[in-house]
């Protein structure tokens, strides 16, 4: 019986590893078009896949017999590569599945793109065909697939010939960009296992291809260019499986929208558009988001070496003072952790450096080791022996020609001396030829180009190492416990989310009397369905010192709201004890695609204007809360900032975790739950949920 993993692997096998393939629409018109290029690719790549041609108007082509249809083929074929007009494809594939066809690659477009009604009908016929006959389809509107080791170059261009085999699987939703990225990656020394241009993803999609590559033993890294995620739940399941297998996924994602902001009822919704929720998804599953296609080449090269750091502590060794200064600038921008060497390491390094050079991290060795590779390698060996260092970035240039040394043995001795992560870097980009690629392979160290890219790669390696050690995320609880609106505050109190002493007054006069019972000073807030954001209508007054101030403030609020909205109904006034401290926002929402998440950041009235927030998918842990604090631009406010008392961060951590578990438990009742502000008092005095807003399902 097939296991689930085997089934996932076999799902994509017809478009990557068929035993037999037929070119439907094989033709030499136009001096040899796409069909001839695919034919020539297979002929020259050494593919052992049995190849047939279908063209009812030809008996022979390129020295091969042409068949009129599927029925006349000498065997049932696994894969059809269709190089015919879109309107002919559904009928053609219907004939194919009647004769055992298992897969199809569809280059043609016009399957519903841009609202084309006829194309949409064709697409629906293909979906029905796929579902009924288990036909696996790559495309439509794609550029095919590549299985490099097998020589199955199902791509209509000669440019993919000669791509080297290696550990990188590639999935692009863009067909043309796909090929150019592969070629440039190969120039830099990347080797590939399988690659797919997935197109419209009518059947096989990103999640399916990721599953295939996770199950493939030869694939160790997966690089993707993505426009959209068609099945978020399936994508997250595939990403979780990749994380468990230790196979990093690197993504360039295009298309940043703000769907969530359009119908947001809370700050939480307004701050969390599609892209930021996707970013939180990547963080949860250890997916590396790359800034650009060039950046993805650098990072893929870094991960292809297969060495993950045990921590974030980076050392740098160079033989250029200017290079050291630039590295420090970029390292600071990227938050690179660069500890000082241990006393033992510093003492050893001092014996290896010229007089006047300091054994500090980052290390400038002086110009001498630039032309003495073994001396430089020996210095680096002492650095990586330091137990306080996890990653070493070392300056090195790939050779380009006869004037350069092509002896990589010194760097190989360094690589062989340690299992720690090593990255070689150049200060500038350079052309890389066969001499350089051979040197890089012999050294056993990836050579990255550009200091900003190097620093991003160092962070990505550390991030992914942490994700692997953390493991797969916990499953979501059912969240089906019902919750009534009238008991919301009581339930929050029961889980430890403290609320200020408060009372509800129906009139300004009653509000003033209740304020005296609570104790001055107090905060006053108007209650009205027309004042969901109270500060925007002047519905909040703070630090009111006595009864008269409360009564006057309540009268003013009601009159102001009536001026703005004459039909507004005032339900009364909320009086609360005055709480001082650091104001934060904690909001929870259930995204229809990626599931429940938390938005955390600096709160109060300017939250959307400042937008200093961090987002995580739920469930979260104590360490996630502390990580979100560290991600904020205003993180210094959570310490003893400019003489102010230390906020109670531990109480904040506990309250955020408790509220997150509460939302997960009751998300069948709640679509949004927001506390803004949650006031963090000084250390030892806890937090208070001053304003709680729920959006009920």
Mark whether 66 and 19 lie in a shared domain. yes
Give the domain extent around 691.
582-696
Mark whether 642 and 520 lie in a shared domain. no
β-strands 50-54, 64-67 pairing: parallel
pLDDT score of 2 = 36
Q: Give the DSSP letter of residue 529.
A: T
Rounded Cα–Cα distance for residues 547 and 525 (Å)? 15
Does an H or E element contain 262, and which?
helix 259-262
Mark whether 420 and 444 lie in a shared domain. yes
Per-residue burial over 2-13, b = 16 or more CB atoms within 10 Å of its CB, e = otherwise: eeeeeebbebbb
How many domains, in total, are found in the chain? 4
pLDDT score of 176 = 82
Q: Which tokens in the block code for residue 458?
A: 């160092």
Mark whether 546 and 450 lie in a shared domain. no
651 domain residue, yes or no:
yes
Q: In the chain, which residues have pLDDT < 70?
A: 1-8, 30-32, 256-273
Mark whether 573 and 587 lie in a shared domain. no
| Domain closes at, from 524, 543, 577 | 577
489 domain residue, yes or no:
no
Mark whether 646 and 571 lie in a shared domain. no
pLDDT score of 530 = 80
Mark whether 568 and 586 lie in a shared domain. no
Q: Give the DSSP letter of residue 337.
A: B
Task: Please name which of 188, 100, 694, 147 lies closest in space to residue 437, comparing C-alpha atoms.
Answer: 188
CATH of residue 367? 3.40.50.261
Mark whether 83 and 207 lie in a shared domain. yes
| Domain closes at, from 430, 454, 470 | 470
Per-residue burial over 95-104, b = 16 or more CB atoms within 10 Å of its CB, e = otherwise: bbbeeebbbb
| Residue 317 bridge partners (DSSP) | 363, 394
Mark whether 677 and 613 lie in a shared domain. yes
496 domain residue, yes or no:
no
β-strands 288-289, 572-577 pairing: unpaired
Burial of 132: CB neighbours in 10 Å, binned 0-12, 13-18, 19+: exposed
CATH of residue 559? 3.30.1490.20
Query: Which phi-psi region, left, alpha or beta, contains residue 356 (left: φ > 0; alpha: ψ -120 to 50)?
Result: left
275 domain residue, yes or no:
no
β-strands 391-395, 421-426 pairing: parallel
354 domain residue, yes or no:
yes
pLDDT score of 32 = 57
Cis check: omega of the bond before 619, within 30 degrees of 0: yes
Beta-carbon contacts of 519 under 8 Å, excluding residues fewer than 6 positions away, are 501, 577
**CB contact at 8 A, 447 and 425:** yes
Angle at 115 between CA 114 and CA 116, to 5 degrees: 95
Rounded Cα–Cα distance for residues 370 and 26 (Å)? 57
Could you give the C-alpha distances from 62 to 27, 53, 96, in angstroms and in order?
9, 10, 23
**CB contact at 8 A, 26 and 84:** no
Per-residue burial over 220-252, b = 16 or more CB atoms within 10 Å of its CB, e = otherwise: bbbbbbbeebbebebbbbbbbbbbeeebbbbbb
558 domain residue, yes or no:
yes
Mark whether 330 and 374 lie in a shared domain. yes
478 domain residue, yes or no:
no
Angle at 252 between CA 248 and CA 256, to 5 degrees: 130
Rounded Cα–Cα distance for residues 654 and 652 (Å)? 5
Mark whether 178 and 42 lie in a shared domain. yes
Burial of 581: CB neighbours in 10 Å, binned 0-12, 13-18, 19+: buried
Task: Please name which of 250, 243, 192 lies closest in space to residue 225, comparing C-alpha atoms.
Answer: 250
Rounded Cα–Cα distance for residues 295 and 562 (Å)? 56
Does an H or E element contain 677, and which?
strand 670-680
* Alpha-helical regions (H) of 57-204: 89-97, 117-133, 175-187
| Domain closes at, from 577, 603, 620 | 577
Mark whether 614 and 563 lie in a shared domain. no
209 domain residue, yes or no:
yes
Rounded Cα–Cα distance for residues 606 and 536 (Å)? 11
- Sign of the Cα pseudo-torsion (604, 610, 611, 614, in order): negative
CATH of residue 222? 3.40.50.720
């Amino acid at each position: 019986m097939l296991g689930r993993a085997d089934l996932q692997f076999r799902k994509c096998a017809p478009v990557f590893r068929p035993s037999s393939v037929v070119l439907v629409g094989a033709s030499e018109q136009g001096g040899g078009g796409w069909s001839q290029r695919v034919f020539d690719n297979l002929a020259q790549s050494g593919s052992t896949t049995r190849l047939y041609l279908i063209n009812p108007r030809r008996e022979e082509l390129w020295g091969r017999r042409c068949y009129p249809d599927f029925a006349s083929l000498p065997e049932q074929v696994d894969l059809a590569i269709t190089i015919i007009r879109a309107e002919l494809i559904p009928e053609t594939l219907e004939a194919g599945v009647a004769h055992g066809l298992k897969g199809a690659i569809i280059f043609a477009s016009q399957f519903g793109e841009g609202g084309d009604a006829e194309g949409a009908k064709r697409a629906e016929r293909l979906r029905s065909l796929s579902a009924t006959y288990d036909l696996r389809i790559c495309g439509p509107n794609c550029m095919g697939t590549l299985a490099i080791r097998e020589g199955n170059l199902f791509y209509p261009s000669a440019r993919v010939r000669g791509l080297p085999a290696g550990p990188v699987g590639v999935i692009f939703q863009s067909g043309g960009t796909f090929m150019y990225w592969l070629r440039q990656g190969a120039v830099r020394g990347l080797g590939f296992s399988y690659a797919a241009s997935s197109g419209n993803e009518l059947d096989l999609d990103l999640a399916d291809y990721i599953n295939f590559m996770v199950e493939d033993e030869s694939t160790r890294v997966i690089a993707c260019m993505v426009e959209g995620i068609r099945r978020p739940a399936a994508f997250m399941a595939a990403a979780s499986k990749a994380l468990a297998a230790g196979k990093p996924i690197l993504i360039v994602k295009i298309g940043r929208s703000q769907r969530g902001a359009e119908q947001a009822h809370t700050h939480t919704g307004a701050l969390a558009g599609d892209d930021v929720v996707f970013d939180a998804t990547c963080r949860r599953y250890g997916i590396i988001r790359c800034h650009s296609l060039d950046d993805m080449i650098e990072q893929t090269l870094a991960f292809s070496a297969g060495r993950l750091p045990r921590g974030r502590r980076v050392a740098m060794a160079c033989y250029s003072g200017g290079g050291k200064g630039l590295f420090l600038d970029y390292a600071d921008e990227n938050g690179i952790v660069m500890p000082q060497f241990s006393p033992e390491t510093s003492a050893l390094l001092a014996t290896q450096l010229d007089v006047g050079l300091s054994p500090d991290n980052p290390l400038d060795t002086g110009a001498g080791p630039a032309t003495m590779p073994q001396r430089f390698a020996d210095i680096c060996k002492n650095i990586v022996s330091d137990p306080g260092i996890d990653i070493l970035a070392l300056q090195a240039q790939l050779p380009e020609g006869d004037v350069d040394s092509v002896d990589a043995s010194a760097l190989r001795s360094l690589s062989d001396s340690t299992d720690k992560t090593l990255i070689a870097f150049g200060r500038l980009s350079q052309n890389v030829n066969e001499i350089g690629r051979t040197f890089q392979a012999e050294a056993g160290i990836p050579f990255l180009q550009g200091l900003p890219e190097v620093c991003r790669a160092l962070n990505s390696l550390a991030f992914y190492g942490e994700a692997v050690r953390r493991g797969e995320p916990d499953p979501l609880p059912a969240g089906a416990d019902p919750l009534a609106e009238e008991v919301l505050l009581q339930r929050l109190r029961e889980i430890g989310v403290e609320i200020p002493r408060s009372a509800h007054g129906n009139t300004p006069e009653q509000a003033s009397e209740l304020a005296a019972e609570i104790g001055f000073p107090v905060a006053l807030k108007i209650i009205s369905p027309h004042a969901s954001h109270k500060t925007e209508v002047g519905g909040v007054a703070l630090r009111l010192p006595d009864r008269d101030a409360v009564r006057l403030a309540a009268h003013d609020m009601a009159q102001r709201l009536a001026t703005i909205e004459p039909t507004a109904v005032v339900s009364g006034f909320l009086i609360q004890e005055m709480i001082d401290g650091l104001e934060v926002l904690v909001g929870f929402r259930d995204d229809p695609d990626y599931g429940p998440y938390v938005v955390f950041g600096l709160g109060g009235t300017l939250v959307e204007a400042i937008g200093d927030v961090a987002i995580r998918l739920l469930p979260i842990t104590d360490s996630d809360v502390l990580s979100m604090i560290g991600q904020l631009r205003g993180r210094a406010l959570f310490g003893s900032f400019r003489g102010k008392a230390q906020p109670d961060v531990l109480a904040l951590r506990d309250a955020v975790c408790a509220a997150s578990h509460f939302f997960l438990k009751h998300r069948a009742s709640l679509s949004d739950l927001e506390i803004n502000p949650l006031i963090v008092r000084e250390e030892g005095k806890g937090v208070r949920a001053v304003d709680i807003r729920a959006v009920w399902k």
